[in-house]
Structure 1
Amino acid sequence: MSGRGDSEIPDVEVSDVGDPAEDARRARWLAAGTGALLALAGLAASALRFAGSAPALVPAAYAVGALACALGSVLGSRGRTRRALWLLVAGAMVMALGDQFD
Structure 2
Amino acid sequence: MTDARRARWAAVGTGTLLTCAGLAAALLRSAGAAPALVPAAYAVGAAVCAFAAVLGAKGRTRRALWSLIAGTMIMALGDQFD
Q: Same fold (TM over 0.5)?
A: yes
2:41 to 51, 54, 61: 61
* CA positional deviation for 1:37: 0.1
Aligned pair count reads 82
Give the residue type in structure 2 aligned to 1:94. Answer: I
Runs of at least 5 residues in structure 2 that lack an aligned partner in the other structure? none
Name the TM-score, length of structure 1 as normaliser. 0.79
1:84 to 52, 61, 64: 64
* CA positional deviation for 1:86: 0.4
- Identify the structure with the greater helix proportion: 2
The structure having more radius of gyration, on CA atoms, is 1
Aligned to 2:31: 51
The alignment status of 1:40 with 2:28, answered yes or no, reads: no
Pairwise CA RMSD: 0.8
Give the residue type in structure 1 aligned to 2:28. Answer: L
Give the residue type in structure 2 aligned to 1:52. Answer: G
* CA positional deviation for 1:88: 0.2
Name the TM-score, length of structure 2 as normaliser. 0.98
The percent identity for this pair of structures is: 73
